[in-house]
Amino acid sequence: MSTDNAEAPSQPPMPTRAEAFGFWLKLGFISFGGPAGQIAVMHEELVERRRWISENRFLHALNYCMVLPGPEAQQLATYIGWLMHRSWGGLVAGGLFVLPSLFILIALSWVYMAYGHVPVIAGLFYGIKPAVTALVVHAAWRVGSRALKNAWLWAIAAGAFVAIFALALPFPLIVLIAGVIGYVGGRVAPDKFKAGGGHGAAKQGFGPALIDDHTPTPPHALFTWARFRAVLVVFVALWAAALGALTALYGWSGVLTQMGWFFTKAALLTFGGAYAVLPYVYQGAVDHYQWLSATQMIDGLALGETTPGPLIMVVAFVGFVGGWTKAIFGPDALFLAGAVAAGVVTLFTFLPSFLFIFLGGPFIESTHGNLKFTAPLTGITAAVVGVIVNLAVFFAYHVLWPQGLGGHFEWMSALIGLGAAAALFRFKLGVISVVAGAGLAGLLFQMGHSLLSAAG
């Protein structure tokens, strides 16, 4: 008996703030692979290895984050950091999940804008663009294979594709209609709108966790209406102060002010992940505000795919290019304009994510019950599949016919795209490998083409 007790793992100690800071900083630099990969890394580190939180509490938090608009992996990190170290922990965990990606994207965006026409950079992007198209198709397949379980959901996905492709309906309206259909469908045919599982089956046997299944909810995480009102007031005040300051400095029609307002709305619509909200960002940033071109939008997604952090961080690239293109601080301060715009966009994109965790986390922790708004979410997820397919069509069109249907067909881009699709679907290669290989193929093709042109 004593031997068993000696061999049984003990509950880990509460990590200090310095230890927690170090881990969240490390996570910010290694969080590649999209939300599924990021959540898998957190599960391995937090549940299995460090045992800071139990499997069931981890999944309970994840289920809440999955029904929120915004990047679920970043919100999960915020939730766990908040549960362990109060508001400080949530701000550090969620902030460090984003900041490394922001700084990396600012640097890459500067290289892109300053040297994007250099043959080497242009060759790399020539190959990366069709790979991004393949990645979007793969994303549609991944989401669709998990979400479209019956004819009802297939019909919603097809309707969403027609709505955005043929009717050009705005993405928020499509989300609203899909949610209403899901709500009604959940009552009429509840078996057709049952929500699927999370990011994997539960595993047990990792040993006692710091925050275990039966660990009492810490005092700061208990729900009270007074705390709810205080959090809501603080975040609304922060948002209003930031947007008000931009309005006072640059006017309501100023580029930075409009970026703050537009990406606040985008942050509230990111149901289904970054791929789902990108059409809305495209409609606003490319068509309406003309902060960047369609080609630059595709290039930005390619950069976002190859950097750590949430894929929605592509909005930082949108902000950087918009600030640079509009020269908001004059022609001699283009980098400063881009960096400030990227920071503004990131602030307004992620501020709602922190609000949702600090506001709703205590309710979720206090109830420990199952969430019941799954039917509308199921309808929205089905619509997201159709929206992502539309995004793939949009990308393919601009990559294969860069000058329009009347122009020439980029056969090499098609071959690179097919190769990237085979690597993803058949050989299950990772995003970094696919993008790197496609970029190298594009570079070699462009160099060969240049040599042939020079020789001719």
User: How many angstroms separate the CA atoms of 11 and 142, rounded?
Assistant: 37
pLDDT digits (tens, 9 = 90+) for 133-191: 888 888 788 778 877 889 999 999 999 999 989 998 877 788 889 989 988 988 888 88
In total, the chain counts a number of residues equal to: 456
User: How many angstroms separate the CA atoms of 452 and 433, rounded?
Assistant: 29
Q: Which two tokens stand for residue 72?
A: 């679920």
Q: Which two tokens stand for residue 57?
A: 């509490």
Helix (H) or strand (E) holding 224: none
Residue 271 belongs to some domain of the structure = yes
Q: Which amino acid is at 81?
A: G
**DSSP of 123-146:** HHHHHHHHHHHHHHHHHHHHHHHH
Closest by Cα among 379, 383, 378 to 159: 383
Contacts of residue 94, defined as CB under 8 A and 6 or more positions apart, other chains included, come to 74, 75, 77, 78, 81, 350, 353, 354, 357
Closest by Cα among 305, 306, 299 to 282: 299
SS3 content of the chain, % helix, strand, coil (to 5): 75, 0, 25
Which residues does residue 237 pair with via DSSP β-bridges, in sequence order? none
Please measure the distance between the N-terminal and C-terminal CA atoms of the chain and give it in whole angstroms.
85
Q: Which amino acid is at 45?
A: E
Helix (H, G, I), strand (E, B) or coil at 211: strand
Closest by Cα among 296, 350, 302, 286 to 97: 350
Query: Crossing angle, helix 314-326 and helix 72-115, to 10 degrees?
Result: 40
Helix (H, G, I), strand (E, B) or coil at 198: coil
Q: Which two tokens stand for residue 234?
A: 């603080």
* 409 alpha carbon, distance to own chain's centre: 32
Q: How many CB atoms lie within 10 A of CB 20?
A: 21
Residue recorded with tokens 């040297």: 115
Q: Which amino acid is at 165?
A: F
Residue 343: predicted pLDDT:
97
Residue 90 belongs to some domain of the structure = no
Q: What parts of the chain have a pLDDT lower than 70?
A: 1-8, 32-37, 195-205, 270-276, 306, 367-374, 456
User: How many angstroms separate the CA atoms of 218 and 381, rounded?
Assistant: 33
Residue 26 belongs to some domain of the structure = no
Angle at 316 between CA 310 and CA 284, to 5 degrees: 105
Residue 6: predicted pLDDT:
46
Domain that holds residue 212: 102-195+208-455
Residue 205: predicted pLDDT:
62
Q: How many CB atoms lie within 10 A of CB 41?
A: 17
Q: How many CA atoms lie within 13 A of 231 on its CB side?
A: 23
Residue 23: predicted pLDDT:
93
User: How many angstroms separate the CA atoms of 446 and 443, rounded?
Assistant: 5
Helix (H, G, I), strand (E, B) or coil at 149: coil
**Tally of domains in the chain:** 1
Which residues does residue 53 pair with via DSSP β-bridges, in sequence order? 211
Residue 404 belongs to some domain of the structure = yes
Sequence-separated contacts (24+) of 243-248 with Cβ below 8 Å = 243/348, 246/344
Cβ atoms 375, 182 nearer than 8 A: yes
Cβ atoms 422, 187 nearer than 8 A: no
Residue 60 belongs to some domain of the structure = no
Residue 342 belongs to some domain of the structure = yes
Residue 81 belongs to some domain of the structure = no
User: How many angstroms separate the CA atoms of 99 and 23, rounded?
Assistant: 14
Residue 156: predicted pLDDT:
95
Q: What is the dihedral of CA 174, 178, 180, 186, to 10 degrees?
A: 180
Residue 284: predicted pLDDT:
92
Closest by Cα among 35, 67, 30 to 45: 30
Sign of CA dihedral 160, 164, 166, 168: positive
DSSP 150: S
Residue 42 belongs to some domain of the structure = no
Q: How many CA atoms lie within 13 A of 145 on its CB side?
A: 7
